């Protein structure tokens, strides 16, 4: 068995991936892919990790935890998704992005030290990520939230590097949240591991969220009469329809952050692109790109 950890991050997925996989549990289950409901494991894993204090669980503990997570007798893949695997929202920023991510992820995997693991992570441009993350805070001004941190000093590559270093040999798949509408079928497949040709219900839910109903209808009609032959072809078609029918309030960044200028946003975006290039080049990382 292999345990698949979808790590989030915050403000990227809004649990859309988990909802889709849960809706297709029967189809996935027939392929040995188990997707338990989050109530079965989130608090359980958190409490178990706290009890273990970073130590590896013995076989009795592993069996007990698995028994509470799974109703099935066995599985090829067990998919667990939680954006708080890396951190709770209030602790995402402390001198840097997700300073405790590597330690937390290691603690969770130590609950099942004898089971192969793999990680999946979406990252996002700090220019839009930070304002959305701030919206999850309570009783803080934006200045208190940033706590003197220069947003230009925040790098996802540091998070990725730490996770890889503290979990040697564990494969990590990364993608940009901004690319998700174009690569969503690939994201679903790489996380779940379902067989090629598997049809998942509501797999176009993301496009329904960001594209007008007319656009979705026209795109689906086009795809019915022009079946795609390759992943690249599908991406070109989706991109063309998004250009024409995307809902502006769902896809455009409208930032109103105290002290941030247009130049600041441009700089953060350029830094993010450079950071993505660094992550792509890291050994142990599989990068999904549009």
CATH of the domain at 25: 3.40.50
Residue at 216 is within a domain = no
Residue at 208 is within a domain = no
Residue at 253 is within a domain = no
- Identify the domain containing residue 102 by its residue range: 2-200+259-288
Those residues of the chain that have pLDDT short of 50 are none
Q: Supply the pLDDT for residue 235.
A: 83
Which residue stretches of 148-179 are H helix?
A: 156-166
Residue at 224 is within a domain = no
Q: Supply the pLDDT for residue 231.
A: 81
Residue at 225 is within a domain = no
Cβ pair 117, 5 in contact under 8 A: yes
Q: In what order do the strands lie in the sheet with 2-6?
A: 33-34, 77-81, 2-6, 116-123, 172-176, 285-288
Residue at 134 is within a domain = yes
Residue at 211 is within a domain = no
Number of domains in the chain: 1
With CA atoms as reference, report the closest residue to 22 among 202, 210, 208.
Answer: 202
Cα separation values, 131 from 10, 64, 246, 263, Å = 12, 40, 22, 16
Q: Supply the pLDDT for residue 251.
A: 62
CA atoms of 204 and 227, how far apart (whole Å): 16
Q: Supply the pLDDT for residue 148.
A: 92
Q: Supply the pLDDT for residue 253.
A: 64
Residue at 124 is within a domain = yes
CA atoms of 226 and 189, how far apart (whole Å): 22
Q: Supply the pLDDT for residue 250.
A: 66
Cβ pair 120, 7 in contact under 8 A: yes
Q: Supply the pLDDT for residue 255.
A: 73
């Amino acid at each position: 068995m292999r345990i698949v950890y979808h790590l989030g991050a915050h403000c990227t997925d809004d649990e859309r991936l988990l909802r889709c996989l849960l809706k297709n549990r029967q189809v996935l289950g027939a392929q040995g892919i188990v997707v338990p409901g989050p109530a079965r494991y989130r608090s359980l894993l958190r409490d178990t990790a706290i009890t273990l204090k970073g130590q590896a669980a013995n076989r009795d503990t592993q069996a007990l935890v698995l028994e509470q997570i799974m109703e099935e007798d066995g599985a090829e893949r067990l998919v667990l998704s939680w954006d708080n695997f890396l951190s709770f929202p209030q602790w995402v920023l402390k001198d840097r992005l997700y300073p405790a991510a590597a330690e937390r992820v290691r603690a969770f995997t130590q609950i099942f030290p004898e089971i192969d693991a793999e990680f999946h992570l979406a990252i996002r441009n700090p220019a839009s990520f930070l304002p959305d993350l701030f919206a999850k805070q309570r009783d803080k001004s934006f200045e208190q939230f940033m706590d003197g941190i220069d947003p230009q000093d925040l790098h996802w590559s540091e998070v990725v590097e730490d996770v890889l270093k503290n979990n040697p040999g564990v494969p990590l798949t990364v993608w940009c949240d901004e690319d998700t509408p174009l690569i969503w079928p690939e994201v679903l497949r790489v996380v779940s591991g379902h067989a090629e040709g598997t049809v998942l219900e509501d797999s176009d839910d993301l496009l329904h969220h960001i594209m007008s109903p007319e656009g979705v209808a026209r795109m689906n009609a086009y795809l019915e009469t022009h079946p795609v032959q390759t992943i690249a072809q599908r991406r070109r078609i989706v991109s063309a329809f998004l250009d024409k029918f995307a809902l502006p309030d769902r896809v455009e960044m409208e930032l109103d952050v105290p002290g941030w200028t247009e130049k600041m946003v441009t700089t953060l975006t350029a830094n993010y692109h450079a950071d993505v290039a660094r992550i792509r080049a890291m050994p142990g990382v599989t990068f999904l790109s549009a």
